[in-house]
Structure 1
Amino acid sequence: MRRGLPAVAEAAVTAIIADVPSYAGALSGQMGENIRGAVQLALGGFINLAVASTQVDPRQPTGPAREGAYLLGRGEARSGRSMEALLAAYRVGSRESWRQLARFLVDQGVDAATIAAFAELVFAYMDQLSDASVSGHSDEMASSGRVRQQHLDELARALLDGVAEEALVAAATRAQWEPPRTLTAVLMPDSQAGGVMRVAAQQTLRIEDPTGEEGRVVLLVPDAPRALLLRTLQGPRAAVGPARPWTEARLSWERARRALALDLPEDPSAAAPLDTEAHLAALVVHSDPEALADLRARVLTPLDDLTASARAKLSETLRAWLLHRGRREAVAEALFVHPQTVRYRVGQLREAYGELLDDPDFVRDATIALA
């Protein structure tokens, strides 16, 4: 039987090529030699056990055979083949190997009961080897999955850090991540991210918010149709940045972060997230709070000598007058006062500001400061 193992291995490999489509053309060259060697090692190990002392269970592969099967499983995972293909190869290879061995036993005049017992031991032994290969395949998939996820996390951090494009391309290559045309940053509670990830593009990156906000994550969604993304995101305290070229994803994240920090009003419909595209003016005006406060103070300087009550009324009237372009009826409606009251207050404003109310630069500054 030992002398015939090379022929048995060859027959098993030929049967696998013929019956398992995933291995068509894959068992030639060095890989084929490795598989043939593994088959011989496995069967040789079994024969050694079968003729050893009765204290040894021939159904349990020895260390070298089990290790070979384990490494075979890992190699199959690295080659991108599934366990279904490998288990099918075990079934076909076991069947063909047993057919060859049984023919030899019959030729040697071995009785039927012994052959039947031998067959049971062979298939139990091969089951053990296939289990070892399953373990190897699972370990390799888990290991490679963890490594790739680490690379994806590193890529997401690099994108939010705004590193150079060359470094981003290298990080994307390591992560086996195909760069999209654009990325859209979404800030949202971690508890809501799972639902979005289920419908988002497969290449969507997810990372904890680098600002350290507890329970908040950043999603970087590739080539996202904005309307669909906004419909998908339900619940408060989420913000959607603008779509930006993928190497400039940091800009999208920063805008979404500023929108949440400003506590802008959310869309009242269905608790939709903050769409930063709908709040561009507010984002521009509030990008430098100290500058805005200084500008407001300068615009209202002519009212400093008035009482607090009078100053509040006139600043409110100036704001409405600017926004409604001096239309008295519109100003009155906005302030819930009589048009005559508006006329009186505007007169007071003209006394305080004089020609400034007709100065385009002042009108611009006052509109920004008070709007």
Structure 2
Amino acid sequence: MAIKSDISESRTPADIVKTLRSGIGPVSEEVIEEIQARIPEYARPSDEIYIKVVRMAVEQAIEGFLDRIESPDAPWDPEPFRMIGKGEAAEGRNLEPLQAAMRLGARVGWRRLTELAGPLGLSPQSLYDLGEAIFVYLDQLADAAAEGFDEARAHAAGEMERRRGRLLDLLLSVPPASPDAIADLAKAAAWRLPRTVACVALDDQHGACRVPPLPPDVLTGAGRALPCLLVPDPAGPGQAQLLERALRGHRAAIGPAVPLTAAATSLRWAGEALDLSRRGVLPRGLLRCEDHLATLVVFKDEELVSALAEVRLAPLAHLRPNQQDRLAETLLAWLRHGRGAGEVAAKLHVHPQTVRYRLRQLEELYGDQLADPDIRFELEIALRARQAVMPGR
């Protein structure tokens, strides 16, 4: 956008611009002194390279302003000021110091113009037009710097996200990557190495896994074959509650806390729990593997469990399905909660006499097997697996 002005009958005379150019050096020095005195972020008196960069930026700004006053229709290149905005992002600052520096520079420039108005023969209207042009130009410099700043921040965020994605791949690799490789990539990704981690397996049944907002130290892998999160120090203060709030309403499984080098194991267990949830073996919603370890163990090798069930539940096989269900339920309660009919009846919400009758049936079916602790253990595994896959459990 060119700056149009009514200065001295629509254009500043060349001799006036020439006079203003001759004063760029002293004005630049004054602007730099003001900036360094009033804006702590730019106060680096011992850094000669930095001062040189600041001086170059100030002189460029003043030269650019005079060029646009002299030739308002000439194209303007915002790239130098976009680069300045990128530099601010690289320094880790926001745009407030730069905007303050620009305002200071504009004030100094306006002050010098008012001092030169008389010697240059500028009318009040011409002086007013120059002042307006300064602030239009200031807005455009600020816009260019903001554009560069946003671009640099977006690029940095994207690069950091890519580094964290590579770090997650490394942490979940099998066999585990070397500690040195993990430490180097973690440093590049600005990620503090924790002592323990827990992985969360996320449901992706519809092919569009949405990762909820989470703290920045949680690594996310929404695009992996098994979408997941990696949570550092899961047992830390407030971590469990924070994770539960973030994942409320999602179907997900939280793996157990493990050393950093065993992250892949935590994810594997979480994935197995999520699969059992999809099949209806485990509840829907948010699961913690630690609450379902027995079921995870039982279903680790389903063929073996099926073979065990076929052997240990054979005495029930000839009964009608509803009889099998009642006796299996009673036997599991007896194995889990004690051998008194009263305790079993309380768990099943039936009359103790009903439990005694069923237990006599079970003694007839199993005989001395129920006295063998190894058989009782295997029976409990088989009955737990049967209960887990029963419809409507």
Matched, 1:145 2:157: yes
Matched, 1:134 2:146: yes
**Alpha-carbon contact 1:241-1:255 (below 8 Å) kept:** yes
Q: Distance in 2 between matches of 1:160 and 1:6?
A: 59
**2:228 matched residue in structure 1:** 218
CA RMSD of aligned residues (A): 3.3
Q: Distance in 2 between matches of 1:117 and 1:322?
A: 94
**Which of 106, 116, 121 is residue 94 of structure 1 equivalent to?**
106
Q: Distance in 2 between matches of 1:240 and 1:222?
A: 12
**2:358 matched residue in structure 1:** 342
Q: Distance in 2 between matches of 1:61 and 1:24?
A: 34
Instruction: Map residues 1-371 of structure 1 onto 2, 5 A cutoff.
Output: 1-25=20-44, 28-51=47-70, 56-57=71-72, 62-63=76-77, 66-162=78-174, 163-164=176-177, 165-188=179-202, 193-194=211-212, 197=213, 200-208=214-222, 210-212=224-226, 217-224=227-234, 225=238, 227-229=240-242, 231-232=244-245, 233-235=247-249, 237-263=251-277, 264-266=281-283, 273-301=286-314, 306=318, 318-330=331-343, 334=348, 338-339=354-355, 341-342=357-358, 344-351=360-367, 354=368, 356-371=369-384
Q: CA deviation at 1:14?
A: 0.6
- State TM-score, norm by structure 2: 0.75
Q: Distance in 2 between matches of 1:282 and 1:72?
A: 60
**Alpha-carbon contact 1:151-1:174 (below 8 Å) kept:** yes
Q: Distance in 1 between matches of 2:103 and 2:46?
A: 16
Q: CA deviation at 1:313?
A: 6.9
What secondary structure does 2:66 align onto?
A: helix
Q: 1:209 to 1:46 in 2, by over 3 A?
A: closer
Q: CA deviation at 1:126?
A: 3.3
Report the AA paired with residue 156 of structure 2: S
Q: CA deviation at 1:24?
A: 2.5
**Alpha-carbon contact 1:181-1:245 (below 8 Å) kept:** yes
Q: 1:141 to 1:150 in 2, by over 3 A?
A: same
What secondary structure does 1:2 align onto?
A: helix
Q: Distance in 1 between matches of 2:195 and 2:360?
A: 58
Unaligned runs of 5+ in 2: 1-19, 385-393
Q: CA deviation at 1:331?
A: 5.0
Post-superposition CA distance 1:107-152 (Å, at most 9, x none): 4554444333333333333332232222211211121121112222
What secondary structure does 2:231 align onto?
A: strand
Q: Distance in 2 between matches of 1:159 and 1:37?
A: 46
Report the AA paired with residue 10 of structure 1: E
**Alpha-carbon contact 1:201-1:222 (below 8 Å) kept:** no
Q: Distance in 2 between matches of 1:278 and 1:315?
A: 23
- Which 10-residue stretch deviates more, 41-50 or 75-84? 41-50
Report the AA paired with residue 13 of structure 1: I
**Alpha-carbon contact 2:218-2:230 (below 8 Å) kept:** yes
What secondary structure does 2:249 align onto?
A: coil
Report the AA paired with residue 106 of structure 1: G
What secondary structure does 1:202 align onto?
A: coil
- Which 10-residue stretch deviates more, 339-348 or 324-333? 324-333
Q: CA deviation at 1:33?
A: 0.7
Q: Distance in 1 between matches of 2:264 and 2:344?
A: 42
Count of paired positions: 348
Report the AA paired with residue 222 of structure 1: P
Q: Distance in 1 between matches of 2:144 and 2:239?
A: 48
Q: Give percent identity, aligned residues only.
A: 32
What secondary structure does 2:254 align onto?
A: strand
**2:13 matched residue in structure 1:** none
Q: CA deviation at 1:36?
A: 0.8
